[in-house]
């Protein structure tokens, strides 16, 4: 019976590779296996009776309500040309130094990725906005494409991030489940705010690593990262820079600060962010009926996709557990030589490989609920585990030849940009990501310090 769960998992991966929509592949395949299991006498139909309660729990989960609000906030900032104004202003601000435009692209990518939270949207937007500008200023194609892909995936780790909202809900449920199994019937909780706080320092360090690499390359090979051609700052530019930077930056600080200071829950902060994005767009006179309809439609589509996948993942989870798949995974990981360290390394490698073929939503809702309770039961800190998984997935989405971010950029880049150049340009940033994972493995307090400090006082 346990091997049927493994066959179920492999079948879902194979069906996804055929291009079947994720939600249909998860729910449909799981139900087919459940019917076969019932017919063979290897599956208890009573497992499926828990599905209505799970769906009701998903739809009434206040934490998950933050997803459509954060999506709305990010799409509003994108559709209202605010990101475009930010790029223009920061380009002028950093025009006096070599690699200044690349630094501006990194910072804009960070802000846009954090607000949108959808890797594909950020990479495509930055590819359309920044790549032509960087080419016009004679930046090397490798550096240009590499920095756009890398900064576009920062939304995986920089809060407020939709990825961390989803991951926080899954890690929290897994942590409570683990403690209950260990006999602790008053389990300690882990919130999305904990993950936001844990991700803040590693996220800033990653951005600093990116900028340091840009400065190093501009020093070693000045031709690859020259000064911006438009280096003359006119008298009106400082005012324009301030007006472009302060509103969106202030909104980010307000949203994240209200969560970290305990003044608002992630859902409440997301509501503030969505409303604030509308206000900024309205004051910039970039908001009209057509834009509002586009924002609403995009938000509805993305939110519907996320919740459909989440419900389908619940079907998969019930059937997988009904075939004792959780016991199979537990026995495998706990039976590895080296105990918890080997289990963590194997898990990270598997998640990294799955990142080539699955989106972060599928991995978060399908894979993490299987492995997280086992790893947490071995004593790993839940916040540390969540951030390590997020950065690991970010690295996977950047790694040639299957990284999602590379495909997104390839789709909008001109024909003059070769795929080999994109691959070559991203390799240094992948190495930076791997170095970051190693550092966080050796010094986990980089992740745990801030949440411990904030929520212990």
What are the residue ranges spanned by the domains of the chain?
A: 50-316+380-455
Q: Is the pLDDT of residue 268 over 70?
A: yes
Contact 361, 313 (CB under 8 A): no
User: What's residue 439's pLDDT?
Assistant: 96
Q: How far apart are CA 252 and CA 111, in angstroms?
A: 8
pTM over 0.85, yes/no = no
Q: Is the pLDDT of residue 430 over 90?
A: yes
Q: How far apart are CA 109 and CA 125, in angstroms?
A: 9
Q: How far apart are CA 434 and CA 122, in angstroms?
A: 22
Q: How far apart are CA 89 and CA 428, in angstroms?
A: 27
Contact 69, 267 (CB under 8 A): yes
Q: How far apart are CA 457 and CA 455, in angstroms?
A: 5
Q: How far apart are CA 165 and CA 303, in angstroms?
A: 13
Rounded to an integer, the average pLDDT of 376-396 is 91
| Cα separations in angstroms, 258 against 112, 261, 262, 263, 266 | 19, 5, 6, 5, 9
Q: How far apart are CA 133 and CA 50, in angstroms?
A: 54
Average pLDDT, rounded, for the chain: 82
Q: How far apart are CA 64 and CA 166, in angstroms?
A: 7
State percent of the chain over pLDDT 90. Answer: 16
Q: Is the pLDDT of residue 231 over 70?
A: no
User: What's residue 232's pLDDT?
Assistant: 42
End-to-end CA distance of the chain: 49
Neighbours of 67 (CB within 10 A): 24
Q: Identify the band that residue 133 occupies on the pLDDT scale cut at 50, 70 and 90.
A: confident
User: What's residue 233's pLDDT?
Assistant: 42
User: What's residue 255's pLDDT?
Assistant: 82
DSSP state at residue 227: -
Q: Is the pLDDT of residue 229 over 70?
A: no
Q: Identify the band that residue 186 occupies on the pLDDT scale cut at 50, 70 and 90.
A: low
């Amino acid at each position: 019976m346990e091997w049927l769960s493994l066959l179920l998992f492999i079948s879902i991966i194979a069906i996804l590779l055929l291009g079947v929509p994720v939600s249909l592949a998860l729910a449909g395949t799981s139900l087919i296996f459940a019917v076969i299991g019932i017919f063979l006498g290897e599956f208890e139909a009573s497992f499926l009776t828990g599905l209505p309660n799970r769906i009701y729990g998903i739809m009434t989960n206040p934490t998950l309500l933050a997803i459509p609000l954060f999506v709305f906030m990010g799409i509003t900032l994108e559709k209202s040309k605010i990101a475009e104004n930010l790029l223009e202003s920061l380009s002028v601000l950093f025009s006096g130094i070599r690699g200044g435009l690349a630094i501006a692209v990194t910072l804009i990518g960070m802000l846009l990725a954090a607000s949108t939270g959808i890797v594909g949207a950020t990479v495509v937007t930055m590819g359309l906005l920044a790549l032509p500008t960087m080419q016009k200023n004679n930046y090397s194609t490798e550096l240009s494409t590499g920095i756009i892909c890398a900064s576009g995936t920062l939304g995986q780790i920089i809060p407020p991030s939709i990825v961390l909202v989803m991951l926080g809900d899954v890690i929290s449920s897994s942590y409570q489940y683990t403690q209950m199994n260990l006999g602790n019937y008053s389990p300690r909780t882990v919130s999305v705010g904990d993950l936001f706080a844990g991700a803040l320092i590693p996220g800033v360090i990653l951005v600093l690593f990116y900028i340091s690499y840009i400065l190093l390359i501009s020093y070693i090979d000045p031709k690859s990262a020259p000064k911006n051609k438009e280096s003359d700052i006119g008298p009106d530019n400082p005012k324009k820079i301030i007006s472009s930077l302060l509103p969106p930056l202030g909104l980010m600080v307000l949203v994240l600060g209200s969560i970290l200071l305990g003044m608002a829950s992630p859902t409440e902060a997301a509501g503030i962010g969505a409303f604030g994005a509308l206000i900024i767009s309205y004051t910039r006179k970039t908001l009209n009926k057509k834009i509002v309809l586009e924002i609403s439609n995009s938000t509805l589509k993305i939110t519907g996709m996320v919740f459909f996948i989440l419900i389908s993942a619940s079907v998969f989870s019930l059937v997988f557990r009904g075939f004792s798949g959780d016991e199979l995974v537990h026995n495998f990981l706990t039976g590895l030589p080296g105990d918890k360290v080997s289990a963590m390394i194997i898990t990270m490698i598997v998640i990294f490989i799955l990142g080539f073929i699955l989106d972060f939503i599928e991995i978060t809702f399908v894979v993490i609920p299987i492995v997280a309770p086992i790893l947490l039961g071995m004593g790993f800190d839940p916040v540390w585990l969540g951030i390590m998984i997020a950065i690991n997935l970010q690295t996977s989405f950047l790694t040639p030849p299957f990284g999602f971010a590379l495909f997104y950029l390839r789709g909008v880049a001109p024909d003059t940009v070769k795929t080999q150049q994109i691959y070559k340009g991203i390799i240094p940033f992948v190495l930076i990501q791997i170095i970051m994972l190693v550092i966080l493995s050796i010094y986990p307090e980089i992740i745990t310090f801030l949440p411990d400090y904030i929520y212990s006082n």
